[in-house]
Structure formats: C-alpha cells, structure tokens
Structure 1
C-alpha cells in the first residue's frame, strides 16, 4: 500500500470517529509502529490532523477555518480526480465556462486539455496557470482581476464587477462544504461574494465536491443546494446524503473512485 493510500485511510478513520490510536492503525494497516507515526507526522505538518499522545485527533473545525492550499490539494485526491474526469465530460467544445478557485477546480483544469475552443473565465491564478501550460492555441483564458488572497484567488469589487458583465454557458464551482440548510458554503468572506457573482454569470451551475465536504459548513453560503443543476461527487458519499442530494439538486452524478495500486 502506498503512503498516500495509508494516509487517506487514516484521515477517513479520523473523520469517522474523531481520533485514531497508533497501535490500532498498526494492526489495521499491517505496517510498523514507526511507519504509522511517520504518516501521522506528514498529516500533522499539512494541518490535517492534530497529534496527541499515542495517536491523533481531528483538527477542531470552525466555520471560518480554512486549511492552506497545499494541505487541501492532497485531501481525497483520487476522489477529486474521479470527479473532475466526469465533470470534464459535461463540457461541449466552443463554449464559455467559469471555473472558481480551489484545489478541486485546480485539479479539474488539468482534465480540460482534450476540449477544443474553450473560453475559460476564472478568478484563480493557479487554475489559469494550469490551463495556460496545456499549450492549446484555441483556448482563451480570462482572469478576472481583483485582490489576491493567500490561496491565489482574486476577489473583491474588481472581480465581482468583471463577473457581473459576463455571460457564461456553465460555471464549475468548488466548495468548502455542503449541507442541508446552509447549502454550498465557504469559510472565506472575501471569496463568498465573488463566488456568488460567478454563479450568477452562468446559465448552468455544476458543483464539484467530494464526499468529505458533506456536513461541513463554512461561514457564508454561496448557493443553495437546489441552485445546482448538476452536483458531481464520489462513491464515498453516505447513503442518506446521496438520497437527500438526489432529491435537492437537478442531477446527481456519482464518480467511481479507482484506488491506487502499489505496495
């Protein structure tokens, strides 16, 4: 089993129970005590867990808490890739799309290389860089402008004014959390108004959110669940959440995750 696979299993267990013990992980994963401790060190350095004596616990969540880009980029990576592959299949050549900032949408940008004649509007410097590196000459990438955040999103009045003057075919939105009631949320007040302007600029809204986002609530709502024409999530989503989401969003697409292989 690869280190990334072990660490994802550890994270899933912590999300499920709130804490893990080293000796229990040794038996479950079939690795040494030292290997488990190294995995916990890696996760702690990325801000994903809090190390305690004999194990680790979940990081106490707050509605304004947002891990850094690097920490988020490795969370649920196989799930994100499966989601993005399915979402890329929804795009027709020659259309104008919007792509929000975030690690899932950054992953999504790498799946657009086979779609010709796209115009992509984004408020994410990282998404724009990923799109430009593809080398396609039939693609137009538009950065909104605005105030740059630590996660390389462009936000504020300039970004909002730009988006309100545009008309996009489809908007692809990454979110911090999704829940019944609050809907699709973000922990960043500076980004929330910009995200809402992006949503309003599109004729259709496609939300990209892996199963770990369910039940997470940020401080500000971007859109209600029923505003999503399509929600693409992964097969780790709980049955009760799947039923609720299927009833609330326009279309629910479940991407099948293919686990990494290795020893």
Structure 2
C-alpha cells in the first residue's frame, strides 16, 4: 500500500470517527507505528487533521488560521472542564470533538469510572489511562457523526448512575436550548443526562445562535456550561441567567 493510499484511509477514518490512535493505525494498515506517525504528520502539515498526543483528530471547519483558533478554543474548554472532575468519580462523556480532548485531559485522574458512547474516547483511556480506571463503552449503532446511539445504547444508559456527564453540543440558543446533529445523538444525550447528578455542557462560542436537528435539553438543564472567551455578550447573559453556572475559558 502506497503512502497516498494509507493517508487516504487515515483521513477517511478521522472523518468517520473524529479521531484515530497511532497504535491502531499501525495494526489496521499493516505498518509500523513509526510509518503511521509519519503519515499522520504528513496529513497534519497539509492541514487535513489536527495532530494530538498519540494520534490525530478532525480539524475544525474553516480556513487555516480559523481552524487553529477553533482547536485552541476547544482545548481551553477541555482543560477548564477537566478541573471539575475529582478522583474516583463515575463520569459520562458523550461523543464530540471537545469531549475527545477532555478524555485526554482526564486520562491521568485516579480511579475514574467512565461511560461513553464514543470509540475514540474509550480508546484514549485504554491506551493512555491508568490501571485503576474503568471504561464502559455503550453499544449501539454508529451514527453519521461517529457516535454510538440507538435503543441498545439508550437502554444501557437508563440503568446507570454517574456523578457527572459531559455533553458536547452542535448548537445552543435561547429558544431551542442544547441541540445535536440528529435525533439518535439527542436521545442518547438525554438518556445519559437523566442518569447524571450533574450536567456539564461543553460548547465553543461558535455554537451559540445555531441549532442542530434535534433538541437534547433546555438551557436550564445544565448545571455548568463551559465555553470560551469568544462567546458574545448576549450568549453569556442568557447562559448566566438560565444555566446553573457559566465558566468562560481564556484561549491562549
């Protein structure tokens, strides 16, 4: 298999799942980790993927500088959200770009029990996590966004009890609340929210004023919303008034 063919397969996998691990790529492509890493670096240099520790993830939309700014905002949100987690907690992490970054921030926290509907997030804890962490990957059907959802995942979530769930959303506004790209993603999001004592929504400033295809929950359902310092004044005002707490992460 040529380098071009390998890189095309890597890019397709990133587009499908949101992220890949170097160790997985080597096994799937039948090459060494060194070769897989070089392929990822080549794609990153062309601006097609974002290079992260141990792998790659999808770039944010938009031209080059905007992509970089978007990724920095998401990383800042993930770092701020990670400070809300304590050792030995049971947490839910729904599929999403920001939550994928959050998983890496949490991989070193002792004693976590993690429930997720995202294969890349489960892989992060498997490859980078601690021996005293436990990860439960919900079953279900893979959606177009790469999340596992459907009746199987919803039934599994209904029997859970977690301290906090982290929800990455595709849109949020004053009328629709927090939204997802499709009904399946919204339903599994609502199911995990129902199983949690605390709900933390992670959303960059670009999601404010936009609305996905399906509603996950109203703004009032969030105990905490973590966003970045690009959020407009109207968005900050609405979230402070209707959500439990607003955390604004400074973007370097």
Post-superposition offset of 1:191: 1.4
Q: C-alpha distance in 2, partners of 1:72/1:192?
A: 21
- CA offset at residue 181 of structure 1? 1.1
Distance 2:93 2:154 in 1: 14
1:241 aligns with 2:235: yes
In 1: Cα distance, 2:60 partner to 2:133 partner: 28
More displaced 10-residue stretch of structure 1: 247-256 or 185-194: 185-194
Within-5 A mapping of 1:54-73: 70-72=58-60
1:134 to 128, 138, 158: 128
**Larger relative helix fraction:** 2
- Give 1:72 shift: 4.0
CA contact (8 A) 2:59 2:71 kept: no
SS in structure 2 of the partner of residue 133 of structure 1: helix
- Superposed, 1:52-201 pairs within 5 Å as 70-72=58-60, 76-201=70-195
Distance 1:85 1:193 in 2: 27
CA distance in 1, matches of 2:138, 2:187: 14
Which string of whole-angstrom CA distances, capped at 9 and with x for unpartnered residues, describes residues 39-73 of structure 1?
xxx88x89xxxxxxxxxxxxxxxxxxxxxx83548
- CA RMSD between the two structures: 1.8
Unaligned runs of at least 5 residues, structure 1: 1-41, 47-68, 259-263
Q: TM-score under structure 1 normalisation? A: 0.70
Aligned mates of 1:195, 1:253 — CA distance in 2: 21
Mapped to 1, the partners of 2:144 and 2:153 lie a distance apart of 16
Divergent runs of 4+, >2 A: 69-75, 149-152
Structure 2 residue ranges without an equivalent (≥5)? 1-45, 50-56, 62-66
Equivalent position to 2:223, from 217, 225, 229: 229
> Is 1:185–1:223's contact at 8 Å kept on the other side of the alignment?
yes
Q: TM-score, normalised by structure 2?
A: 0.73
In structure 1, C-alpha distance between the alignment counterparts of 2:239 and 2:129, rounded to whole Å: 37
Q: Please give the secondary structure, in 1, of the residue aligned with 2:209.
A: coil
Give secondary structure in 1 for the equivalent of 2:247: strand
CA distance in 1, matches of 2:187, 2:206: 24
Instruction: Report which of the two structures shows the higher radius of gyration computed on alpha carbons.
Output: 1
Number of residue pairs matched? 194
Q: Distance in 1 between matches of 2:113 and 2:101?
A: 18
Tell me the distance in 2 between the aligned counterparts of 1:153 and 1:243. 31
